[in-house]
Structure 1
Amino acid sequence: MTTSVLPRVAITLGDPAGIGPELVAKLLADPRTTESAEIVLISDERELADAGTDAGTPIEYSLEAKPGVPRLHDNGAARPGTFERRKATEAGGTWAMSNLRVALDLAGAGEVDAILFAPLNKSSLHLAGMRELDELRWFETILGAEAYTCELNVLPSLWTARVTSHVSVAEVAAGITRENVLGAAKLLDTVLRESGIEAPRLGVCALNPHAGENGRFGRHEIEVISPAVEELRAGGIDAAGPFPSDTIFLRREEFDGILTMYHDQGQIAMKLIGFDGGVTMAGGLRVPICTPAHGTAFDLVGKRSANTGSIRNAFNLATRIGTRRRAAQA
């Protein structure tokens, strides 16, 4: 059994049709990666070799635990020979899910402290049989999550959480309940504290234009969101709002985290502010799970031009929270 104080991070290479393998190879080529965590690669030797070819830099790994060298944990799955690149396929989705399933099993057994996965393709996942709307809901199913969960988006200076996520815009209003606003805000506050911010400042978005214009454009602000903000403040959370969503990001320096009501309300702003560095985190699970906030970028496959800013930030966040959770458990 290892006595290292470094966090143990499981890494999967994402959808094999996209830029994930190249990103992971480039990440592992940076000495800072192996200096800051014990890396467990969930893959097989063929995929690691292909990833090294994609990136133009081979992946160094060991089949046994070895200080400073990533350890390969073979996923045990049968591969289809080669994967079709630059295209969503059932084979690619099946492979990506098999790797993630092993990582989740290791986390459930307490053998890793955090998970980092390279970009996935939702079409591939659904072709492979994933019934949930997205990977977060699939993670919930596999891990048997009982607490409130939601997707968090992270830039170096700002976090966002959202009350509703991958649902039709027509279904958003029904999902804006007092319980959901409270759950998402409390989770955002908790994870910000785990990331090292001692007293997070939260800004809360309105749902309707002009924050509802005193009920003229809707009553969610009056009947749901404002009472939830008051309850958060009474419980010791520094929350303010609701603020109109078309101006709150102009005031982002006032907040450590912003709670949005639906997907694009926050995602458009975050990607305009820092697309190349954004991170997505599955919040509320027993293990921190992080990934770059961008997709599989089929158009960049084979060009060796994929930007590693987001995967580097995702790795750093996974190690930071994994370290704190491991220390808390110890």
Structure 2
Amino acid sequence: MSDLPVLAVTLGDPVGIGPEITLKTLAEPEALQMAHGVAVGDAIVLERLVRHLGLNLEINPIATVADARFTTGVIDVLNLGVVREDLPWGEVNATAGAAAVGAIEVATRLAMAGEVDAIVTAPINKEAIWAAGSQHLGHTEMLGELTGSTRFNTMFWVSGLKIFFATRHLSLREAISQITRENIEHAIREAYTALEVFGTEKPRLAVAALNPHGGENGKFGDEEIIAIAPAVAAARVAGLDVVGPIPADSVFHQGIQGRFDGVLSLYHDQGHIASKTYDFDGTVSVTVGLPILRTSVDHGTAFDIAGTGRASHGTMRAAFKAAATLAPYARRLPAIYPPGVR
């Protein structure tokens, strides 16, 4: 019996690039050495892609993870049977949306039951899942409901640095209004705990500043003075190795250079721009706050190149590798948001 982790890899939207990047990743010999990967979706979608791209791969439809062969040149796929005919590439389609939702549901159930060690998700199209009847804003919200989680966040992992977010899907104006001492204290504690959960001993966490030059002692804004610095000071009193606020134009570079294990970004684009500019393909999204491990690509369905064979699978490869690496810590994930906090 192999000690390699078992990863469920969803195909995402079947008429986007998700099936292609999943196929390319699972077909690589390196993937077989890192983990046992099982695609979750519709076999007909992968069979069509293999024919269309002229790939020398066998698609093996299975009903349970136990049926997987995990063999070179064979792609095991838990076959959902939602898609029953070829769908037009790169178009919003309710059937495709239903297939994407179904794959997420099946993969999540497998992870909750302990049949797989983690899930890796390919991109979905929000319009398609809404056309299929889903009320969720996206992947993370869907996973939250499926796992009974009410509080969760995103961690980016790039070149060894873990980036956390004090706020996420808010307008910039609303995000700034959420920069309070209390909120930053909570975000620091969550980020620090996540670093520990994922195996970092004695984490070093930096908190980014909000304003240019860190506010220049209030000349460019006072959020650093009234909220961020006091939150950092409180964390240090509690024994956490936290520094900041450090100007955002340098803190991520310092983190990449190894000075910190993690950086707390204050709003969505602050961390996204830094990580994706440095290494777009190598940036992996990890959902923290769920009782299961989920990694994901950090890009969309790329309908414009779907079915062309031109999709880069670099981010999917990185997400697969991250899931394999972090799988041993999956059982510790509930510690990030303990009972009563979740």
With structure 2 as the length reference, what TM-score do the two structures score? Answer: 0.85
The count of aligned residue pairs is 325
Any stretches of 5+ residues in structure 1 without a counterpart? none
Q: Offset at 1:195?
A: 4.1
SS, match of residue 277 in structure 1: coil
Q: Distance in 1 between matches of 2:309 and 2:329?
A: 34
- Paired letter, 2:80: N
- Paired letter, 1:244: P
Q: Distance in 2 between matches of 1:140 and 1:72?
A: 24
Deviates more, 1:49-58 or 1:240-249: 49-58
Aligned ranges 1:193-232 → 2 under 5 Å: 193-232=196-235
- Paired letter, 2:6: R
Task: Please say if residues 93 and 128 of structure 1, whose CA atoms lie closer than 8 Å, have aligned partners that are also in contact.
Answer: yes
Task: Please say if residues 75 and 99 of structure 1, whose CA atoms lie closer than 8 Å, have aligned partners that are also in contact.
Answer: yes
Q: Offset at 1:178?
A: 3.5
Q: Offset at 1:27?
A: 0.9
* Structure-2 change in CA distance of 1:208 and 1:29 (3 Å): same
- The RMSD of aligned alpha carbons is 2.6
Aligned ranges 1:309-324 → 2 under 5 Å: 309-324=314-329
SS, match of residue 15 in structure 1: coil
- Paired letter, 1:170: R
Q: Distance in 2 between matches of 1:165 and 1:22?
A: 29
Task: Please say if residues 21 and 54 of structure 1, whose CA atoms lie closer than 8 Å, have aligned partners that are also in contact.
Answer: no
Q: 2:124 aligns with which of 117, 120, 124?
A: 120
Q: Offset at 1:75?
A: 2.7
Task: Please say if residues 6 and 38 of structure 1, whose CA atoms lie closer than 8 Å, have aligned partners that are also in contact.
Answer: yes
With structure 1 as the length reference, what TM-score do the two structures score? Answer: 0.88
- Paired letter, 1:83: L
* Structure-2 change in CA distance of 1:55 and 1:183 (3 Å): farther
- The equivalent residue for 2:271 is 266
- The equivalent residue for 1:38 is 36
Asked if 1:88 is matched to 2:92, the reply is yes
Q: Distance in 1 between matches of 2:223 and 2:6?
A: 43
- The equivalent residue for 1:276 is 281
SS, match of residue 83 in structure 2: coil
Task: Please say if residues 38 and 68 of structure 2, whose CA atoms lie closer than 8 Å, have aligned partners that are also in contact.
Answer: no
Q: 2:294 aligns with which of 285, 289, 292?
A: 289
* Structure-2 change in CA distance of 1:36 and 1:82 (3 Å): same
Q: Distance in 2 between matches of 1:103 and 1:109?
A: 10
- Paired letter, 1:289: R
* Cα distance per residue 1:170-227 (max 9 Å; x no partner): 2112322344323433333344344443333222112223323323443322222222
- The equivalent residue for 1:143 is 147
* Structure-2 change in CA distance of 1:52 and 1:314 (3 Å): same
* Structure-2 change in CA distance of 1:250 and 1:39 (3 Å): closer
Asked if 1:6 is matched to 2:21, the reply is no
Q: Distance in 1 between matches of 2:132 and 2:177?
A: 30
- The equivalent residue for 1:68 is 70
Q: Distance in 2 between matches of 1:135 and 1:44?
A: 19
Deviates more, 1:61-70 or 1:298-307: 61-70
Task: Please say if residues 195 and 320 of structure 1, whose CA atoms lie closer than 8 Å, have aligned partners that are also in contact.
Answer: no
* Structure-2 change in CA distance of 1:227 and 1:162 (3 Å): same
Task: Please say if residues 191 and 283 of structure 1, whose CA atoms lie closer than 8 Å, have aligned partners that are also in contact.
Answer: yes
